[in-house]
């Protein structure tokens, strides 16, 4: 099976960094646990990004196990673009969707 390529919006990379920093400020190593769970979710996307259903428009969500976050992503051909990484309580209309 051919893997999909993962690309990150610059804002998504900053969100990931902020989340890791936040969790590390709560407890040493907690941010690293978030990162590991995030990478597991991304690895699953590389294999089958169409597994997750559409959440809105052309955007799908990949939940991060054990954390209240999801990667919001789009698929175009063999490219998966991580548009945002948001907590479930955040409204995408007032966060990443205003980037377009």
* CA separation for the pair 77, 91 (Å, rounded): 27
DSSP state of 72: E
Q: What is the pLDDT of residue 99?
A: 54
Q: Is residue 100 over pLDDT 50?
A: no
What's the pLDDT tens digit per position in 35-91?
Answer: 999 999 999 999 999 988 888 889 999 999 999 999 999 999 999 999 999 998 877
Residues 6+ apart with CB under 8 A from 70: 61, 62, 63, 64, 85, 86, 88
- Sorted by where each starts, the structural domains of the chain and their CATH numbers stand as 5-91 (3.30.2310.20)
SS (H, E, C) 23-84: HHHHCCCHHHHHHHHHHHHHHHHHHCHHHCCEEECCEEEEECCCCCEEEEEEEECCEEEEEE
């Amino acid at each position: 099976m051919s893997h999909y390529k993962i690309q990150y919006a610059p804002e998504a990379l900053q969100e990931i960094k902020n989340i890791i920093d936040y969790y590390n400020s709560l407890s040493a190593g907690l941010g690293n646990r978030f990162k590991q769970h995030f990478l597991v979710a991304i690895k699953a996307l590389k294999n089958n990004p169409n597994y997750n259903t559409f959440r809105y428009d052309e955007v799908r969500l990949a939940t991060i196990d054990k954390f209240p976050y999801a990667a919001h992503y789009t698929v175009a051909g063999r490219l998966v673009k991580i548009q945002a990484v948001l907590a479930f309580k955040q409204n995408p209309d007032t966060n990443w969707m205003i980037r377009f």
